[in-house]
Amino acid sequence: MPKVTYIEHDGRSQVFDVPLGENVMRGALYNGVEGIVGECGGGLSCATCHCYVDEAWTGRVGGPSSQAEEELLESAAAEVKPNSRLSCQIEMTEALDGLVVHLPETQY
């Protein structure tokens, strides 16, 4: 099972297995990672699962997957950066095993 490292705003990191085909947001919610709220449950209707993809992974993960994701990122509570993504839109694959995401200071 692929692993994801979630690095919270204070620098604390946690590594969890996230099933293939599942998204990074649900991996965080299932494991009680603070810093990802996922208020809409992955319905692409909020920005409370905002994360920053580690720069070593941006090439593999890519940018926003849709216009809707780009628009929602504009309403994120924390600073939007070039490596910003909504974690509900990052689906786990074997190629993403070891993915590292950084969490913003706030989701609200």
Count the helix, strand and coil residues of the chain and give each as a percent rounded to the nearest 5.
20, 20, 55
Q: What is the pLDDT of residue 63?
A: 96
As given in the structure block, the two tokens for residue 95 are 């190629």
C-beta separation of 31 from 67 below 8 A: no
- CB proximity list for 46: less than 8 A, separation 6 or greater: 39, 40, 72
Q: What is the mean pLDDT of residues 12-27?
A: 98
- pLDDT tens-digit series, residues 48-87: 999 999 999 999 999 999 999 999 999 999 999 999 999 9
State pTM to two decimals. Answer: 0.97
Q: What is the pLDDT of residue 24?
A: 98
Residue corresponding to tokens 């504009």: 74
Three-point CA angle 52, 96, 8, nearest 5°: 35
Q: What is the pLDDT of residue 6?
A: 98
Domains belonging to the chain, first-starting first, are 3-102 (3.10.20.30)
CA distances from 29 to 52, 66, 71, 97 (A): 17, 23, 23, 18
Q: What is the mean pLDDT of residues 19-28?
A: 98
Q: What is the mean pLDDT of residues 87-105?
A: 98
Q: What is the largest CA-CA distance in the chain?
A: 33
Q: What are phi and psi of 47, to 5 degrees?
A: -130, 30
pLDDT tier, 9 (very low <50, low <70, confident <90, very high otherwise):
very high
